[in-house]
Amino acid sequence: MAASNSLASSNSVIKFFVLAVMAVVGASLKSNAQQNTTAGLAEVHGMPRIIHYTKKEFNSDPQFWAMCQDAQGVLYFGNNDGVLIYDGERWQKVTLPNNSSVRSLRTSKKGEIYAGGFNELGTIKRDSYGKYYYESLLELLRPEDRNLENIWQIYEVQGYIVFRSTRMLIAIANNKAITLPSSESFRYCNVINDQLYVLDKEWIKQVDLQSLEFTDLIHQREINSEEIVGLLPGLKKEGLLLITKKGSAYAIDPEKRTATFRKRLIPENSSNLIICAIKSKQGTYYLGTLSTKIMLLNESGEHVTTSEAFQNLQDNTVLNLFESREGNIWALLNNGLDCIDVSSPVSMVFDNAAIFDVLPVGKTLYLATNQGVFVSNNANGDNYSRTSFKKIEGLEGQAWSLQYFKGTVICSHDRGIFILTGKGIQKIPGITGIWKIIEVNGRPDDFLVCTYEGIYLLHYDKSNGFVLQHRIEGFRESSRDILQSNEPGIFWVCHGYKGVFRIKVDESLTRTVSLEHFKDQNGLPSPFNINVFRWKGETVFTTNKGIFTFNANANRFEPHELLTTLFGTEHNVRKLLQHGDKTWFVHDDEAGYFLTNDAEPVLEKGLFLNLKGTFNQSMECIVPLSNKNVLMGTITGLYAFDLSYNSTEKASANMLITKVSALESQEEVLGELSSATPRLQLSNQTSSIRFDFAAPDFQDQMNIQYSYRLEAVDLGWSEWQETPYKEFSYLRSGRYAFHVKARSLLGESSREAVYYFEILPAWYQTVWAYIVYSLLATFIVVTVASMVKRKINLEKQKTRDEEEKKRKVLELEIQQIKLKQEKEQMIKDKALLEEDVIHKSKELANYTMLLVKKRELLSDMHDELKTLKDTVRSDASKQIVRDLIRKINANLQNEEHIQVFEANFERVHHEFFAQLKSTFSDLTQKELQLCAFVRMNLTNKEIASILNISVRGVETARYRLRKRLGMSHEQDMSAFLEKLYDSNEKSPDVPDDSSDLLNKIR
């Protein structure tokens, strides 16, 4: 960004206001001067557009005889091949049964289309599928009346449809036909104000179909016996205008039955002839000729002209003329069809170059183009065409702009500055590459020349005229887009790629004293595509992201609330021009206007849509002439617009769905188009469905766009497009509604057309299938629910089982703990018992030993008493000794102590004896006693003493016992019995490891 200097002004306050007043006065003078340049041109009209239709388009014989239009705007043309039907997009052909040419067509008030050919008359109808066909009415005639020859004209009058052949008139009403034969031949007829006029023999007659009477009006000699080609409504309501083939015009008074010659339309002895004539709704007479195309007679009847616009027809010979409901004039030619858009609000003024600027001066138009400068020289009133302009010699090449200063036209050209005068052109030497020239506010004789590289000063004085003085130093950028600020000496310059420059020049206009360069800082969204304009006294900047103003206090660009809201931020506004009560703009390549002071302005673009994309970017040319007329220059030429045209005031045009076709199993199926037809039903095998549509009664037949949507498929309307059909493929089954609407680029809009159809479901998608599916689904659900319930119950049962098992395991564990505790207690008890057993065994052993010792003592006493007896001498003593011996013997022989011992021993060692008895069941009581003694670790001697046997006897008994027990000689009997006893210690009811039992439970 270039270095910026302070903009603080050293001027005094008084000087500032003086300059401001001068600036306002200068701007006022400039505005007045500009208004003076357009004072002579309130309106400019170009030539109407002509639309050509060739054999390539309608694919039929190019010679046309008749035409009509139905209530929907569809056009019908009679030619040598039959009837051609045009809906605005497509042509259809209907042939007569005898393949004759169709010379006449008419639309009745009921909307029926009547056609007449050679020996044929009938109606053109449309079936419910959109196909046109012919239905003959010959059966209404008597057989002798059916030799009709050609039906030349058809009219509706007094409730009858009248067909004219040279031989007769056929009047049909309520399916009944009346024939009126001619006196000689019917050579012409017409209906005016519901009165039928015919030319029969040499008289123009008025026919009353109610009474079937002919009234003579004018004899042909009153019109010099010339052949009649047109009997039209006259200049007054009660009068008629008669046009002859040779070009004479007569005023006919039906009441006075007089004919008055008005004028010659074609010079006498001319080879040209008038073939047809019509009067338009606007009162203009159109005359089709043999060799000079179309002649125009204005509504006053005083002026005849050959319009330049009609010279562009395809053929010189016009066989018939027809005015459509939209106001277009159709020329039926010897070779082709032409539609003359005479009622269009858009006309072409100039089409020979790209227009960059237009300057109206008085009644003269100057055009700056890419080929040079053109000036109008022979405009017919306010009507212009290409031939109305001539190129100014010496100004060939790119001309950028035209200005009108000091009563002089100045051209800013790629080659320099040129002054245009009545004597020729004059170049100001010194510089080239000029964009434009602007006035300096407050200095009426000074002008700034904006060039490709900087700004120059142009001065005017009366003696020398315009003189180029010097370059304004300090600024060398392109200054095509420049605007003087309200502040003196301040200029805004926008560069298409570099952003915005704010420059201040000194009072002498010699150099730049300060320069500020704004890119994407200070609030601007980017440095590209910025333009500066004046709107309602404000300086506004248009960008790609909205419209901004400059806040000098904050030194920032801020969005302009109203204009940004109005235009949005999606597209750039490349032109903004305030004129009168309107503000003109170019927005997203679309031109339009809005009312400047409206509280809620609306962008009006419809009338100008046909120019979209044709403007010279950043050099858009819009020249308002008045509230009713505006000129717009494009790359294709100069166009004039009539702003009084309001498409919204017209009734919405018809929108027709002309054909519905579907491809079903590789076969085409047509859909009925009647509104009374129920919804079209297509099978599930339909692969595609196509809708053809048209909007036939738009005034602008060349620029029609369509938008559509399919309910249940499209979320909204499609983009506008010119394709007159839409095809959908592989739609799902269901009900649909196809909506379509149209618009023209003149802002016309159509009603919405709707077509309902249905794609039937496959057998597996039908109601019965869904019922079966529902039943099956119900069954499955019930089954699944039952299975789930069963599963749940099983799971619950399993859970309960698991809980039960856990409970049992817990109980077993508790029982195990109890058993373990009991076992421990039993072990403890056993230990105590064992201790008790050991104790008792010891006591028993001690008792036994005491018995043994007692017996030993007794034995010793016995022996000693025996010895004593031998030594005692007295008998008494001997007796006492004998008594003692006897008692001792008795005591020694007593085995009661053995029985006590056995009883006590068996009681103490019950388990041991039980184990012995269970293991060795054949043991005797003595052997059991011996085992007990051995178990008690008694010696053989002790055992022998207890048993009162010898030691040898004990040994023998032990030997036998060893054999009984199956013991080897080396085995210790005491250890064997101890082991046997220990094996019986463990209770069979309480296992050592209760985990085995728990595992079994688990």
Tokens of 592: 């339009």
The alpha-helical segments, DSSP class H, found in 872-895 are 875-893
pTM value surpassing 0.85: no
Which residue bears the tokens 């909205």?
Answer: 546
Which residue bears the tokens 């020694």?
Answer: 892
Tokens of 457: 């000063």
Tokens of 932: 């007990």
Tokens of 210: 């109610």
Residue 623: left if φ>0, alpha if ψ -120 to 50, beta else—which one? beta
Are 419 and 436 in the same domain?
Answer: no
Residue that terminates a domain, selected from 741, 762, 783: 762
Residue 649 exposed, middle or buried by CB count within 10 Å (0-12, 13-18, 19+): exposed
Residues 6+ apart with CB under 8 A from 88: 73, 74, 694, 695, 696, 697, 698, 701, 704
Q: Residues 611-614: contacts with CB within 8 Å, 24+ apart?
A: 611/639, 612/745, 613/589
Tokens of 884: 């003692």
Tokens of 924: 């005797």
Tokens of 834: 């064992």
Tokens of 355: 């227009």
Are 848 and 976 in the same domain?
Answer: yes
Element (H or E) spanning 725, and its range? Answer: strand 725-729
The alpha-helical segments, DSSP class H, found in 418-560 are none
pLDDT along the chain (1002 residues), means of 10: 35 33 37 48 80 93 96 95 94 95 96 96 93 95 92 95 95 94 93 94 92 92 93 81 93 91 88 93 90 84 64 91 92 94 87 92 92 81 78 94 94 95 88 95 93 95 91 94 92 94 94 94 92 94 94 93 93 93 93 93 90 91 92 94 75 85 88 78 90 88 90 91 93 92 87 92 82 89 86 84 82 81 78 70 68 73 77 78 80 68 69 79 80 80 77 85 81 79 52 46 46
Strand ranges across the sheet with 203-208: 186-192, 195-200, 203-208, 213-219
Residue that terminates a domain, selected from 762, 785, 805: 762
Please check whether residue 809 is in contact with residue 815, taking contact to mean a CB–CB distance below 8 angstroms.
Answer: no
Strand ranges across the sheet with 434-440: 434-440, 443-451, 454-461, 465-471
Are 772 and 906 in the same domain?
Answer: yes
- Alpha carbons 437 and 412: distance in angstroms, whole number: 7
- Alpha carbons 772 and 572: distance in angstroms, whole number: 61
- Alpha carbons 924 and 935: distance in angstroms, whole number: 16
Write the CATH number for 737.
2.60.40.10
- Alpha carbons 442 and 444: distance in angstroms, whole number: 6
Are 861 and 963 in the same domain?
Answer: yes
Residue 752: how many other CB atoms lie within 10 Å: 15
The pLDDT score that the predictor gives to residue 308 is 65
Q: Does 315 reside within a domain?
A: no
Element (H or E) spanning 579, and its range? Answer: strand 573-579
Tokens of 22: 């001068």
Bridge partners, 505 (sequence order) = 512
Which residue bears the tokens 């009649």?
Answer: 228
HSE of 242, CA atoms in CB hemisphere, 13 A? 28
Are 21 and 139 in the same domain?
Answer: no
Bridge partners, 321 (sequence order) = 331
DSSP 777-810: HHHHHHHHHHHHHHHHHHHHHHHHHHHHHHHHHH
- Alpha carbons 322 and 340: distance in angstroms, whole number: 10
The pLDDT score that the predictor gives to residue 377 is 76
The pLDDT score that the predictor gives to residue 848 is 67
The pLDDT score that the predictor gives to residue 236 is 66
Residue 574: left if φ>0, alpha if ψ -120 to 50, beta else—which one? alpha
Element (H or E) spanning 86, and its range? Answer: strand 82-86
HSE of 24, CA atoms in CB hemisphere, 13 A? 6
- Alpha carbons 829 and 412: distance in angstroms, whole number: 136
Residue that terminates a domain, selected from 428, 449, 482: 428
Are 134 and 13 in the same domain?
Answer: no
- Alpha carbons 340 and 505: distance in angstroms, whole number: 56
Strand boundaries in 109-164, DSSP class E: 113-117, 120-126, 132-136, 153-157, 160-164
Are 838 and 732 in the same domain?
Answer: no
Q: Does 544 reside within a domain?
A: no
Are 956 and 870 in the same domain?
Answer: yes
Tokens of 792: 């749940």
- Nearest alpha-carbon partner for 510 in 440, 609, 612: 440
With helix as H, strand as E and coil as C, how does 349-370 read?
A: EECCCCEEEEEEECCEEEEEEC
3-state SS assignment for residue 246: coil
Q: Does 558 reside within a domain?
A: no
Q: Does 244 reside within a domain?
A: no
- Nearest alpha-carbon partner for 421 in 435, 434, 411: 411
The pLDDT score that the predictor gives to residue 460 is 93
DSSP 919-976: H-TT--HHHHHHHHHHHTT--HHHHHHHHTS-HHHHHHHHHHHHHHHT--SSS-HHHH
Are 722 and 856 in the same domain?
Answer: no
Kindly list the distances between the CA atom of residue 683 and the CA atoms of 671, 728, 768, in Å, as whole numbers in the listed order. 13, 15, 16
Q: Does 79 reside within a domain?
A: yes
Which residue bears the tokens 């309501």?
Answer: 237
Find the domain containing 140 and state its range. Answer: 63-181
The pLDDT score that the predictor gives to residue 309 is 66
Q: N- to C-terminal Cα distance for the chain?
A: 91
- What is the total count of domains within the chain? 5
Q: Does 992 reside within a domain?
A: no
The pLDDT score that the predictor gives to residue 962 is 83
Are 685 and 721 in the same domain?
Answer: yes
Are 729 and 861 in the same domain?
Answer: no
Are 802 and 924 in the same domain?
Answer: yes
Write the CATH number for 166.
2.130.10.10
Bridge partners, 632 (sequence order) = 622, 639
Residues 6+ apart with CB under 8 A from 733: 684, 759, 760, 761, 762, 765
**DSSP label of 43:** -
Please check whether residue 315 is in contact with residue 335, taking contact to mean a CB–CB distance below 8 angstroms.
Answer: yes
Q: Does 230 reside within a domain?
A: no
Q: Does 991 reside within a domain?
A: no
Residues 6+ apart with CB under 8 A from 826: 987, 990
- Nearest alpha-carbon partner for 977 in 942, 944, 930: 930
